[in-house]
Amino acid sequence: MENIRVRFAPSPTGALHIGGVRTALYNYLFARKHGGTFILRIEDTDQTRYIKGAEAYIIEALEWCGFTPDEGPGFGGDYGPYRQSERKDMYAAFAQQLVDNGKAYYAFDTPEELDAIREAEKEKGNHTFKYDSKVRATLNNSIRLSANEVQAKLDAGEPYTIRLKVPENEEVKVNDLIRGEVIFQSNELDDKILLKADGMPTYHLANIVDDHAMKISHVIRGEEWLPSTAHHVLLYQAFGWENEMPKFAHLPLILKPTGKGKLSKRDGAKLGIPVFPLSWDGGTPDDSFVGFREFGFDPGAVRNFLAFLGWNPGTEQEIFSEQELIDAFSIEKIGKSGARFDWDKAQWFNQQYIIASDNKALVPVIRKEIQKHGHDASDDFLAAFAEMMKERVTFYPDFWENAYYFFEPVKEYDPKTIRKKWKPERRPLFEQLLERFDALEDYTGENVKATVEAFMADNELKFGDVLPIMRVGVSGTMKGPAVFDMMALLGKEEVNQRLRKAYDVMDEAHAS
Ligand code: GLU
Protein backbone atom coordinates (compact mmCIF):
# COMPACT_ATOMS: atom_id res chain seq x y z
CA MET A 1 0.00 0.00 0.00
CA GLU A 2 0.95 3.63 -0.41
CA ASN A 3 2.27 5.64 2.50
CA ILE A 4 -0.42 5.06 5.11
CA ARG A 5 -1.19 8.02 7.31
CA VAL A 6 -4.31 7.94 9.46
CA ARG A 7 -5.58 10.28 12.09
CA PHE A 8 -7.79 10.18 15.12
CA ALA A 9 -9.36 13.63 15.27
CA PRO A 10 -11.46 14.07 18.40
CA SER A 11 -12.94 17.35 19.55
CA PRO A 12 -12.14 18.05 23.19
CA THR A 13 -15.76 18.60 24.16
CA GLY A 14 -15.84 16.24 27.13
CA ALA A 15 -14.88 12.71 28.07
CA LEU A 16 -14.04 10.46 25.14
CA HIS A 17 -16.82 7.93 24.66
CA ILE A 18 -15.87 4.30 24.15
CA GLY A 19 -16.96 4.63 20.49
CA GLY A 20 -14.20 7.18 20.06
CA VAL A 21 -11.72 4.78 21.58
CA ARG A 22 -12.81 2.15 19.08
CA THR A 23 -12.24 4.64 16.24
CA ALA A 24 -8.77 5.30 17.61
CA LEU A 25 -8.12 1.55 17.89
CA TYR A 26 -9.08 0.83 14.29
CA ASN A 27 -6.93 3.70 13.04
CA TYR A 28 -4.08 2.47 15.18
CA LEU A 29 -4.37 -1.15 14.04
CA PHE A 30 -4.61 -0.10 10.42
CA ALA A 31 -1.50 2.09 10.71
CA ARG A 32 0.49 -0.62 12.47
CA LYS A 33 -0.58 -3.30 10.04
CA HIS A 34 0.70 -1.32 7.06
CA GLY A 35 3.75 0.21 8.66
CA GLY A 36 1.98 3.56 8.56
CA THR A 37 1.63 6.54 10.85
CA PHE A 38 -1.02 7.05 13.51
CA ILE A 39 -1.72 10.73 14.12
CA LEU A 40 -3.64 12.47 16.86
CA ARG A 41 -5.18 15.75 15.83
CA ILE A 42 -7.16 17.81 18.30
CA GLU A 43 -10.11 19.51 16.61
CA ASP A 44 -10.66 22.36 19.00
CA THR A 45 -11.78 25.24 16.79
CA ASP A 46 -15.21 25.41 18.37
CA GLN A 47 -14.39 27.40 21.46
CA THR A 48 -18.00 27.33 22.66
CA ARG A 49 -17.83 23.58 23.11
CA TYR A 50 -14.28 23.41 24.43
CA ILE A 51 -13.97 21.65 27.77
CA LYS A 52 -10.90 22.03 29.90
CA GLY A 53 -9.21 18.75 30.66
CA ALA A 54 -10.77 16.92 27.74
CA GLU A 55 -7.58 16.86 25.67
CA ALA A 56 -5.56 15.53 28.59
CA TYR A 57 -8.27 12.91 29.11
CA ILE A 58 -8.09 11.84 25.48
CA ILE A 59 -4.34 11.43 25.59
CA GLU A 60 -4.41 9.57 28.88
CA ALA A 61 -7.09 7.25 27.54
CA LEU A 62 -5.11 6.50 24.37
CA GLU A 63 -1.99 5.80 26.38
CA TRP A 64 -3.81 3.59 28.85
CA CYS A 65 -5.19 1.54 25.96
CA GLY A 66 -1.73 1.43 24.42
CA PHE A 67 -2.45 3.41 21.24
CA THR A 68 0.27 5.99 21.56
CA PRO A 69 0.26 8.35 18.57
CA ASP A 70 3.28 8.63 16.30
CA GLU A 71 2.48 12.28 15.66
CA GLY A 72 0.34 14.64 17.67
CA PRO A 73 0.39 17.39 20.30
CA GLY A 74 3.29 16.50 22.56
CA PHE A 75 4.28 13.55 20.37
CA GLY A 76 6.23 15.39 17.66
CA GLY A 77 5.85 15.00 13.90
CA ASP A 78 6.61 17.04 10.78
CA TYR A 79 3.06 18.18 10.06
CA GLY A 80 2.24 20.12 13.21
CA PRO A 81 0.91 21.90 15.00
CA TYR A 82 -1.60 19.16 15.70
CA ARG A 83 -4.06 21.31 17.58
CA GLN A 84 -6.37 23.16 15.23
CA SER A 85 -6.54 26.16 17.54
CA GLU A 86 -2.81 26.59 16.85
CA ARG A 87 -3.42 26.47 13.10
CA LYS A 88 -6.34 28.86 13.07
CA ASP A 89 -4.61 31.59 11.10
CA MET A 90 -4.14 29.41 8.05
CA TYR A 91 -7.76 28.43 7.41
CA ALA A 92 -9.14 31.82 6.34
CA ALA A 93 -6.81 31.90 3.34
CA PHE A 94 -8.17 28.57 2.13
CA ALA A 95 -11.74 29.79 2.43
CA GLN A 96 -10.73 32.95 0.56
CA GLN A 97 -9.16 30.83 -2.16
CA LEU A 98 -12.53 29.18 -2.73
CA VAL A 99 -14.30 32.54 -2.87
CA ASP A 100 -11.76 33.73 -5.40
CA ASN A 101 -12.29 30.77 -7.69
CA GLY A 102 -16.07 30.89 -7.40
CA LYS A 103 -16.52 27.75 -5.28
CA ALA A 104 -17.63 29.63 -2.20
CA TYR A 105 -19.17 32.99 -1.38
CA TYR A 106 -19.52 35.64 1.29
CA ALA A 107 -22.76 35.50 3.23
CA PHE A 108 -23.66 38.58 5.24
CA ASP A 109 -26.89 37.24 6.71
CA THR A 110 -26.85 37.69 10.45
CA PRO A 111 -28.04 34.88 12.72
CA GLU A 112 -31.10 37.04 13.53
CA GLU A 113 -31.97 37.43 9.85
CA LEU A 114 -31.67 33.71 9.31
CA ASP A 115 -33.80 32.96 12.35
CA ALA A 116 -36.47 35.30 11.03
CA ILE A 117 -36.44 33.54 7.67
CA ARG A 118 -36.64 30.17 9.37
CA GLU A 119 -39.63 31.35 11.40
CA ALA A 120 -41.38 32.75 8.33
CA GLU A 121 -40.80 29.48 6.48
CA LYS A 122 -42.20 27.52 9.40
CA GLU A 123 -45.37 29.55 9.24
CA LYS A 124 -45.67 28.56 5.61
CA GLY A 125 -45.34 24.94 6.69
CA ASN A 126 -41.71 24.49 5.72
CA HIS A 127 -39.88 23.16 8.74
CA THR A 128 -36.64 22.31 7.02
CA PHE A 129 -35.30 25.58 5.75
CA LYS A 130 -31.88 25.04 4.24
CA TYR A 131 -29.42 27.62 3.02
CA ASP A 132 -28.90 25.96 -0.34
CA SER A 133 -28.73 26.34 -4.11
CA LYS A 134 -32.49 26.89 -4.33
CA VAL A 135 -32.57 29.92 -2.06
CA ARG A 136 -29.09 31.34 -2.03
CA ALA A 137 -29.85 33.84 -4.82
CA THR A 138 -32.51 35.46 -2.62
CA LEU A 139 -30.34 35.93 0.45
CA ASN A 140 -27.87 38.48 1.70
CA ASN A 141 -24.71 37.22 0.05
CA SER A 142 -22.18 37.80 -2.71
CA ILE A 143 -24.24 35.69 -5.12
CA ARG A 144 -27.14 38.09 -5.03
CA LEU A 145 -25.34 41.36 -4.34
CA SER A 146 -23.32 43.21 -6.94
CA ALA A 147 -19.54 43.29 -6.71
CA ASN A 148 -19.69 46.90 -5.58
CA GLU A 149 -22.22 46.20 -2.87
CA VAL A 150 -20.10 43.36 -1.61
CA GLN A 151 -16.99 45.49 -1.61
CA ALA A 152 -18.78 48.22 0.28
CA LYS A 153 -19.84 45.76 2.97
CA LEU A 154 -16.35 44.36 3.26
CA ASP A 155 -14.87 47.86 3.44
CA ALA A 156 -17.35 48.75 6.15
CA GLY A 157 -16.15 45.76 8.13
CA GLU A 158 -19.54 44.06 8.10
CA PRO A 159 -19.25 40.55 9.51
CA TYR A 160 -19.61 37.70 7.08
CA THR A 161 -19.34 33.98 6.85
CA ILE A 162 -17.97 32.08 3.88
CA ARG A 163 -20.22 29.35 2.54
CA LEU A 164 -19.53 26.51 0.14
CA LYS A 165 -21.39 26.92 -3.12
CA VAL A 166 -22.77 23.43 -3.55
CA PRO A 167 -23.24 22.71 -7.27
CA GLU A 168 -26.75 22.03 -8.52
CA ASN A 169 -28.07 18.75 -9.92
CA GLU A 170 -25.03 16.66 -9.30
CA GLU A 171 -24.52 13.26 -7.83
CA VAL A 172 -21.86 13.30 -5.16
CA LYS A 173 -20.26 9.90 -4.88
CA VAL A 174 -18.52 8.70 -1.77
CA ASN A 175 -16.57 5.50 -2.20
CA ASP A 176 -16.64 4.02 1.23
CA LEU A 177 -14.35 1.08 1.94
CA ILE A 178 -16.98 -0.48 4.19
CA ARG A 179 -20.22 0.56 2.51
CA GLY A 180 -19.24 0.70 -1.13
CA GLU A 181 -20.46 3.59 -3.26
CA VAL A 182 -22.79 5.93 -1.40
CA ILE A 183 -24.49 8.54 -3.57
CA PHE A 184 -25.77 11.89 -2.38
CA GLN A 185 -27.83 14.34 -4.45
CA SER A 186 -26.22 17.74 -4.36
CA ASN A 187 -29.66 19.38 -4.35
CA GLU A 188 -30.23 17.88 -0.92
CA LEU A 189 -27.09 19.45 0.51
CA ASP A 190 -26.94 22.85 2.14
CA ASP A 191 -24.27 25.46 1.52
CA LYS A 192 -22.23 24.68 4.59
CA ILE A 193 -20.46 27.49 6.39
CA LEU A 194 -16.71 27.10 5.98
CA LEU A 195 -15.52 30.17 7.80
CA LYS A 196 -17.46 31.67 10.68
CA ALA A 197 -18.02 35.37 11.28
CA ASP A 198 -15.30 35.34 13.95
CA GLY A 199 -12.80 34.16 11.34
CA MET A 200 -12.65 30.63 12.74
CA PRO A 201 -13.12 27.67 10.43
CA THR A 202 -15.95 25.21 10.87
CA TYR A 203 -15.25 21.54 11.38
CA HIS A 204 -15.69 20.87 7.65
CA LEU A 205 -13.12 23.35 6.43
CA ALA A 206 -10.51 22.70 9.10
CA ASN A 207 -10.91 18.94 8.79
CA ILE A 208 -10.37 18.90 5.02
CA VAL A 209 -7.55 21.45 5.00
CA ASP A 210 -5.75 19.51 7.71
CA ASP A 211 -6.33 16.07 6.26
CA HIS A 212 -4.83 17.41 3.06
CA ALA A 213 -1.95 19.23 4.74
CA MET A 214 -1.14 16.20 6.90
CA LYS A 215 -1.24 13.88 3.87
CA ILE A 216 -3.90 11.67 5.39
CA SER A 217 -4.37 8.56 3.25
CA HIS A 218 -7.41 7.04 4.96
CA VAL A 219 -10.18 8.60 7.01
CA ILE A 220 -11.54 5.98 9.40
CA ARG A 221 -14.32 7.42 11.58
CA GLY A 222 -17.80 6.82 12.94
CA GLU A 223 -20.85 6.39 10.76
CA GLU A 224 -22.32 9.67 12.03
CA TRP A 225 -19.85 11.48 9.77
CA LEU A 226 -20.99 9.79 6.57
CA PRO A 227 -23.49 12.54 5.61
CA SER A 228 -20.77 15.20 6.03
CA THR A 229 -18.58 13.28 3.66
CA ALA A 230 -20.63 14.49 0.71
CA HIS A 231 -19.56 18.02 1.59
CA HIS A 232 -16.03 16.86 2.12
CA VAL A 233 -15.87 15.33 -1.35
CA LEU A 234 -17.18 18.61 -2.77
CA LEU A 235 -14.53 20.49 -0.85
CA TYR A 236 -11.75 18.31 -2.25
CA GLN A 237 -13.12 19.03 -5.71
CA ALA A 238 -13.42 22.75 -5.00
CA PHE A 239 -9.78 22.89 -3.95
CA GLY A 240 -8.74 20.80 -6.94
CA TRP A 241 -7.39 18.14 -4.61
CA GLU A 242 -9.60 15.29 -5.79
CA ASN A 243 -6.61 13.18 -6.78
CA GLU A 244 -5.21 13.45 -3.29
CA MET A 245 -8.49 12.71 -1.57
CA PRO A 246 -8.14 10.16 1.24
CA LYS A 247 -10.10 6.93 1.17
CA PHE A 248 -13.05 6.83 3.53
CA ALA A 249 -14.20 4.10 5.90
CA HIS A 250 -17.21 4.77 8.14
CA LEU A 251 -17.47 2.47 11.13
CA PRO A 252 -20.79 0.97 12.23
CA LEU A 253 -22.64 2.37 15.22
CA ILE A 254 -22.19 0.89 18.65
CA LEU A 255 -25.60 -0.16 19.93
CA LYS A 256 -27.01 -0.38 23.43
CA PRO A 257 -26.64 -3.68 25.32
CA THR A 258 -30.23 -4.46 24.31
CA GLY A 259 -29.26 -4.04 20.67
CA LYS A 260 -31.88 -1.33 20.24
CA GLY A 261 -30.61 2.15 19.52
CA LYS A 262 -27.28 3.84 19.79
CA LEU A 263 -25.21 3.40 22.95
CA SER A 264 -25.24 6.63 24.93
CA LYS A 265 -23.46 7.86 28.00
CA ARG A 266 -26.73 7.60 29.86
CA ASP A 267 -26.82 3.84 29.27
CA GLY A 268 -23.69 3.52 31.35
CA ALA A 269 -25.19 5.41 34.29
CA LYS A 270 -28.47 3.55 33.96
CA LEU A 271 -26.90 0.10 33.96
CA GLY A 272 -24.05 0.89 36.31
CA ILE A 273 -21.47 -0.06 33.71
CA PRO A 274 -18.66 1.93 32.13
CA VAL A 275 -19.00 3.33 28.62
CA PHE A 276 -15.94 5.55 28.95
CA PRO A 277 -12.32 4.42 29.08
CA LEU A 278 -11.39 6.41 32.21
CA SER A 279 -13.42 8.01 34.94
CA TRP A 280 -14.41 11.60 34.29
CA ASP A 281 -15.60 14.20 36.72
CA GLY A 282 -17.36 16.97 34.87
CA GLY A 283 -18.46 18.60 38.11
CA THR A 284 -22.09 17.46 38.02
CA PRO A 285 -23.55 13.97 38.58
CA ASP A 286 -24.86 14.05 35.04
CA ASP A 287 -21.42 14.65 33.65
CA SER A 288 -19.47 12.23 35.82
CA PHE A 289 -18.72 8.73 34.66
CA VAL A 290 -16.85 5.73 35.86
CA GLY A 291 -14.24 4.38 33.44
CA PHE A 292 -13.25 0.91 32.33
CA ARG A 293 -9.91 1.53 34.02
CA GLU A 294 -11.44 2.40 37.39
CA PHE A 295 -13.95 -0.44 37.07
CA GLY A 296 -10.96 -2.76 37.13
CA PHE A 297 -10.41 -3.71 33.51
CA ASP A 298 -7.18 -4.85 31.98
CA PRO A 299 -6.47 -2.49 29.05
CA GLY A 300 -5.69 -5.49 26.84
CA ALA A 301 -9.17 -6.86 27.51
CA VAL A 302 -10.71 -3.51 26.61
CA ARG A 303 -8.71 -3.42 23.39
CA ASN A 304 -9.74 -6.97 22.53
CA PHE A 305 -13.40 -6.28 23.34
CA LEU A 306 -13.47 -3.07 21.31
CA ALA A 307 -11.78 -4.72 18.35
CA PHE A 308 -14.80 -6.98 18.07
CA LEU A 309 -17.32 -4.13 18.18
CA GLY A 310 -17.69 -3.94 14.42
CA TRP A 311 -14.81 -6.07 13.20
CA ASN A 312 -14.57 -9.83 13.00
CA PRO A 313 -11.58 -11.93 12.00
CA GLY A 314 -13.83 -14.48 10.31
CA THR A 315 -12.45 -17.30 12.48
CA GLU A 316 -13.36 -18.75 15.87
CA GLN A 317 -10.49 -17.03 17.64
CA GLU A 318 -11.58 -14.45 20.19
CA ILE A 319 -8.56 -13.73 22.34
CA PHE A 320 -6.04 -11.68 20.41
CA SER A 321 -2.79 -10.19 21.59
CA GLU A 322 -2.03 -6.73 20.26
CA GLN A 323 0.26 -8.14 17.58
CA GLU A 324 -2.33 -10.73 16.57
CA LEU A 325 -4.91 -7.99 16.19
CA ILE A 326 -2.53 -5.99 14.03
CA ASP A 327 -1.86 -9.00 11.83
CA ALA A 328 -5.51 -10.01 11.50
CA PHE A 329 -7.02 -6.56 11.11
CA SER A 330 -8.41 -5.40 7.80
CA ILE A 331 -11.01 -2.83 6.81
CA GLU A 332 -12.73 -5.42 4.60
CA LYS A 333 -13.67 -7.37 7.73
CA ILE A 334 -15.47 -4.44 9.33
CA GLY A 335 -19.25 -4.84 9.18
CA LYS A 336 -21.88 -2.34 8.10
CA SER A 337 -24.49 -3.06 10.71
CA GLY A 338 -24.44 -1.78 14.27
CA ALA A 339 -22.42 -3.68 16.83
CA ARG A 340 -24.06 -4.43 20.15
CA PHE A 341 -22.19 -3.35 23.29
CA ASP A 342 -22.28 -6.72 24.96
CA TRP A 343 -21.49 -6.24 28.63
CA ASP A 344 -21.32 -9.97 29.35
CA LYS A 345 -18.73 -10.28 26.63
CA ALA A 346 -16.72 -7.39 28.05
CA GLN A 347 -16.65 -9.16 31.41
CA TRP A 348 -15.73 -12.43 29.81
CA PHE A 349 -12.78 -10.83 28.03
CA ASN A 350 -11.57 -9.35 31.27
CA GLN A 351 -11.80 -12.68 33.07
CA GLN A 352 -9.84 -14.35 30.30
CA TYR A 353 -7.15 -11.69 30.46
CA ILE A 354 -6.82 -11.97 34.21
CA ILE A 355 -6.68 -15.77 34.09
CA ALA A 356 -3.99 -15.63 31.42
CA SER A 357 -1.95 -13.05 33.34
CA ASP A 358 1.32 -14.05 34.88
CA ASN A 359 1.04 -14.16 38.69
CA LYS A 360 4.00 -11.83 39.01
CA ALA A 361 2.35 -9.33 36.69
CA LEU A 362 -0.74 -9.37 38.90
CA VAL A 363 1.24 -8.57 42.06
CA PRO A 364 1.30 -4.77 41.60
CA VAL A 365 -2.31 -4.76 40.41
CA ILE A 366 -3.48 -6.67 43.49
CA ARG A 367 -1.27 -4.63 45.78
CA LYS A 368 -2.97 -1.49 44.53
CA GLU A 369 -6.38 -2.95 45.33
CA ILE A 370 -5.51 -4.06 48.84
CA GLN A 371 -3.67 -0.83 49.57
CA LYS A 372 -6.95 0.96 48.97
CA HIS A 373 -8.08 -0.87 52.12
CA GLY A 374 -4.97 -0.12 54.09
CA HIS A 375 -3.15 -3.43 53.63
CA ASP A 376 -0.02 -4.76 52.03
CA ALA A 377 1.71 -8.12 51.70
CA SER A 378 4.93 -9.54 50.31
CA ASP A 379 5.39 -10.20 46.62
CA ASP A 380 5.51 -13.94 47.27
CA PHE A 381 2.30 -13.88 49.23
CA LEU A 382 0.53 -11.85 46.55
CA ALA A 383 1.80 -14.06 43.73
CA ALA A 384 0.49 -17.16 45.52
CA PHE A 385 -2.76 -15.32 46.21
CA ALA A 386 -3.01 -14.38 42.51
CA GLU A 387 -2.64 -18.02 41.53
CA MET A 388 -5.47 -19.03 43.87
CA MET A 389 -7.83 -16.21 43.03
CA LYS A 390 -7.35 -15.31 39.38
CA GLU A 391 -9.96 -17.74 38.14
CA ARG A 392 -12.40 -16.35 40.67
CA VAL A 393 -12.53 -12.68 39.75
CA THR A 394 -13.98 -10.59 36.95
CA PHE A 395 -12.52 -7.17 37.76
CA TYR A 396 -9.44 -6.14 39.68
CA PRO A 397 -11.36 -4.89 42.75
CA ASP A 398 -12.80 -8.42 43.09
CA PHE A 399 -9.42 -9.53 44.39
CA TRP A 400 -10.34 -7.60 47.51
CA GLU A 401 -14.11 -7.95 47.42
CA ASN A 402 -14.07 -11.73 47.04
CA ALA A 403 -11.07 -12.43 49.23
CA TYR A 404 -10.51 -9.63 51.75
CA TYR A 405 -10.12 -12.32 54.42
CA PHE A 406 -6.63 -13.05 53.19
CA PHE A 407 -5.65 -9.64 54.57
CA GLU A 408 -7.87 -9.02 57.57
CA PRO A 409 -10.01 -10.97 60.04
CA VAL A 410 -13.23 -12.59 58.89
CA LYS A 411 -16.14 -10.17 59.18
CA GLU A 412 -19.03 -12.57 58.91
CA TYR A 413 -19.48 -16.31 59.07
CA ASP A 414 -21.94 -17.97 56.72
CA PRO A 415 -24.91 -18.66 59.03
CA LYS A 416 -26.23 -21.57 56.96
CA THR A 417 -23.00 -23.48 57.28
CA ILE A 418 -22.89 -22.86 61.01
CA ARG A 419 -26.44 -24.07 61.41
CA LYS A 420 -26.02 -27.19 59.35
CA LYS A 421 -22.44 -28.18 59.94
CA TRP A 422 -21.40 -27.12 63.41
CA LYS A 423 -22.15 -29.64 66.11
CA PRO A 424 -21.24 -28.11 69.49
CA GLU A 425 -20.68 -31.58 70.93
CA ARG A 426 -17.83 -32.04 68.49
CA ARG A 427 -15.94 -29.03 69.79
CA PRO A 428 -13.41 -31.16 71.75
CA LEU A 429 -12.67 -33.10 68.58
CA PHE A 430 -12.09 -29.94 66.60
CA GLU A 431 -9.84 -28.59 69.35
CA GLN A 432 -7.82 -31.73 68.95
CA LEU A 433 -7.50 -31.04 65.25
CA LEU A 434 -5.85 -27.74 66.10
CA GLU A 435 -3.30 -29.63 68.17
CA ARG A 436 -2.59 -31.85 65.21
CA PHE A 437 -1.99 -28.75 63.08
CA ASP A 438 0.26 -27.34 65.75
CA ALA A 439 2.38 -30.43 65.58
CA LEU A 440 2.90 -30.04 61.85
CA GLU A 441 6.43 -28.95 61.05
CA ASP A 442 5.89 -28.26 57.42
CA TYR A 443 2.51 -26.60 57.05
CA THR A 444 1.91 -27.18 53.31
CA GLY A 445 -1.41 -27.73 51.56
CA GLU A 446 -0.62 -31.40 51.17
CA ASN A 447 0.37 -31.89 54.80
CA VAL A 448 -2.70 -30.04 56.01
CA LYS A 449 -4.81 -32.30 53.83
CA ALA A 450 -3.13 -35.46 55.15
CA THR A 451 -3.63 -34.24 58.71
CA VAL A 452 -7.31 -33.60 58.14
CA GLU A 453 -7.73 -37.00 56.50
CA ALA A 454 -6.08 -38.80 59.40
CA PHE A 455 -8.27 -36.83 61.80
CA MET A 456 -11.38 -37.85 59.85
CA ALA A 457 -10.41 -41.51 59.80
CA ASP A 458 -9.65 -41.58 63.53
CA ASN A 459 -12.95 -39.96 64.40
CA GLU A 460 -15.16 -41.50 61.76
CA LEU A 461 -15.94 -38.15 60.20
CA LYS A 462 -16.56 -37.37 56.58
CA PHE A 463 -15.22 -34.53 54.40
CA GLY A 464 -18.62 -32.90 54.66
CA ASP A 465 -18.28 -32.81 58.45
CA VAL A 466 -14.92 -31.14 58.49
CA LEU A 467 -14.16 -29.12 55.35
CA PRO A 468 -17.04 -26.65 55.60
CA ILE A 469 -15.97 -25.90 59.18
CA MET A 470 -12.39 -25.29 58.07
CA ARG A 471 -13.46 -23.18 55.12
CA VAL A 472 -15.97 -21.00 56.91
CA GLY A 473 -13.69 -20.84 59.93
CA VAL A 474 -10.84 -19.25 58.01
CA SER A 475 -12.77 -17.26 55.37
CA GLY A 476 -16.35 -16.89 56.59
CA THR A 477 -17.72 -18.06 53.27
CA MET A 478 -18.27 -21.28 51.36
CA LYS A 479 -16.95 -19.68 48.18
CA GLY A 480 -13.25 -19.44 47.64
CA PRO A 481 -10.12 -21.22 46.53
CA ALA A 482 -9.06 -24.74 47.50
CA VAL A 483 -9.30 -24.80 51.30
CA PHE A 484 -5.98 -26.52 52.05
CA ASP A 485 -4.04 -24.16 49.81
CA MET A 486 -5.76 -21.23 51.40
CA MET A 487 -4.83 -22.49 54.86
CA ALA A 488 -1.23 -23.08 53.84
CA LEU A 489 -0.93 -19.54 52.51
CA LEU A 490 -2.43 -18.01 55.64
CA GLY A 491 -0.05 -20.05 57.80
CA LYS A 492 -0.39 -22.26 60.80
CA GLU A 493 -0.63 -19.64 63.56
CA GLU A 494 -3.09 -17.48 61.72
CA VAL A 495 -5.31 -20.43 60.79
CA ASN A 496 -5.36 -21.87 64.30
CA GLN A 497 -6.17 -18.52 65.77
CA ARG A 498 -8.98 -18.02 63.25
CA LEU A 499 -10.41 -21.48 63.84
CA ARG A 500 -10.37 -21.08 67.58
CA LYS A 501 -12.29 -17.83 67.25
CA ALA A 502 -14.68 -19.38 64.73
CA TYR A 503 -15.47 -22.28 67.08
CA ASP A 504 -16.49 -19.72 69.71
CA VAL A 505 -18.64 -17.83 67.25
CA MET A 506 -20.30 -21.04 66.08
CA ASP A 507 -20.93 -22.23 69.60
CA GLU A 508 -22.51 -18.93 70.44
CA ALA A 509 -24.67 -19.01 67.35
CA HIS A 510 -25.98 -22.39 68.36
CA ALA A 511 -26.54 -21.34 71.95
CA SER A 512 -28.67 -18.35 71.01
N1 GLU B 1 -13.70 16.23 15.24
C2 GLU B 1 -14.52 15.20 14.71
C3 GLU B 1 -15.01 14.37 15.89
O4 GLU B 1 -15.12 14.90 16.93
C5 GLU B 1 -13.72 14.39 13.73
C6 GLU B 1 -14.50 13.55 12.78
C7 GLU B 1 -13.57 13.03 11.74
O8 GLU B 1 -12.86 12.07 12.05
O9 GLU B 1 -13.52 13.60 10.68
O10 GLU B 1 -15.25 13.21 15.84
- HEC profile of 192-240: CEEECCCCCECHHHHHHHHHHHCCCCEEEEEHHHHHHHHHHHHHHHHHC
Domain range enclosing 399: 358-405
CATH no. for residue 46?
3.40.50.620
Please report, as a single letter, which amino acid is at residue 341.
F
> Is 88 among the catalytic positions?
no
Shared domain for 429 and 457, answered yes or no, is yes
**Ligand 1: which atom is nearest the Cα of residue 207?**
9
Q: Which helix (H) or strand (E) holds 106?
A: strand 104-107
H-state helical runs in 18-141: 18-33, 54-65, 88-100, 111-123
pLDDT of residue 286: 86
- Asked if 285 and 223 sit in the same domain, the reply is no
Residue type, 83: R
User: Based on the domain organization, do 341 and 377 belong to the same domain?
Assistant: no
Distance 10 CA to ligand 1 centre (A): 5
Query: Which atom from ligand 1 is nearest to the alpha carbon of 11?
Result: 4
**Bond prior to 81 in cis (omega within 30° of 0):** yes
CA nearest neighbour of 234 among 295, 274, 187: 187
Q: Do 126 and 116 share a domain, yes or no?
A: yes
Q: What is the secondary structure of 269-302 as a DSSP string?
A: HHHT---BSS-EE-SSGGGEE-BHHHHT--HHHH
How far apart CA 273 and CA 292 sit, in angstroms, is 8
Residues of the chain with confidence (pLDDT) below 70: 1
The last residue of a domain, from among 379, 405, 431: 405
Torsion of CA 156, 158, 164, 168, to 10 degrees: -80
Which residue minimizes the CA distance to atom 5 of ligand 1? 9
Strand partners, 8: 40
Q: What angle do CA 461, 462, 466 make, to 5 degrees?
A: 85
End of a domain among 370, 405, 440? 405
- Residues near 431 by beta carbon (within 8 Å), at least 6 away in sequence: 503
Q: Do residues 166 and 95 both lie within one domain?
A: yes
| Probe target for ligand 1 pocket from 7, 207, 232, with the most ligand atoms within 8 Å of CB | 207
- 81 within some domain: no
The answer to whether 167 and 237 have CB atoms below 8 angstroms apart is no
C-alpha of residue 185 to centroid of ligand 1, in Å = 23
Q: How many CA atoms lie within 13 A of 295 on its CB side?
A: 25
Q: What CATH code is carried by the domain that includes residue 164?
A: 3.90.800.10
Tens digits of residue pLDDT in 286-331? 889 999 999 999 999 999 999 999 999 999 999 999 999 999 999 9
Helices (H), 372-462: 379-389, 398-401, 415-421, 427-439, 445-459
Burial of 129 (0-12, 13-18, 19+ CB in 10 A): middle
> CA separation (Å) from 376 to 211, 224, 342?
51, 48, 35
**For 402, what's the count of Cα atoms within 13 Å in the CB-facing half-sphere?**
19
Segment holding 172, helix H or strand E: strand 171-176
Q: Do 415 and 509 reside in the same domain of the chain?
A: yes
Question: What span, in angstroms and rounded, lies between the C-alpha atoms of 79 and 206?
Answer: 14
Tell me, yes or no, whether 63 and 161 share the same domain. Answer: no
Which amino acid belongs to residue 199? G
Report how far ligand 1's centroid is from the alpha carbon of 397 (Å).
35
Q: Is residue 200 domain-resident?
A: no
CATH of the domain at 475: 1.10.10.350
Q: Do residues 109 and 140 make contact, with C-beta atoms less than 8 angstroms apart?
A: yes
Say if CB 82 and CB 89 are below 8 A apart: no
Q: Cα 50–52–53 angle (5° rounding)?
A: 125
Q: What is the pLDDT of residue 49?
A: 84
The catalytic position among 265, 345, 449, 501 is: 265
Which residues are CB-contacts of 59 (< 8 A; sequence separation ≥ 6)? Answer: 40, 72, 73, 74
Phi-psi region of 283 (alpha: psi -120 to 50; beta: other; left: phi over 0): left
Total domains in the chain come to 5
- Ligand 1 atom nearest the C-alpha of 13 is 4
pTM over 0.85: yes
Which residues lie below 8 Å from residue 239, measured CB to CB, with a gap of 6+?
A: 94, 97, 98, 103, 208, 212
Contact between 247 and 4 under an 8 Å Cβ cutoff? The reply is: no
Report d(CA 293, CA 288) in Å as an integer: 14
What per-residue confidence (pLDDT) applies to 46?
Answer: 85
Same domain for 270 and 185?
A: no
The ligand 1 site (C-beta within 6 Å) comprises 9-11, 43, 203, 207, 221, 225
67 and 95 together in one domain: no
Looking at residue 1, what is its pLDDT? 59
372 and 323, same domain (yes or no): no
CA–centroid distance, 41 to ligand 1, in Å, is 9
Give a yes or no: residue 161 inside a domain: yes
Q: Are 337 and 246 found together in one domain?
A: no
Specify the CATH number for the domain of residue 307: 1.10.1160.10
Residues 327 and 384 in one domain: no
**C-alpha angle 108/110/113, rounded to 5°?**
115
User: What would the pLDDT profile of 346-380 be if each residue is shown by its tens digit?
Assistant: 999 999 999 999 999 999 999 999 999 999 999 99
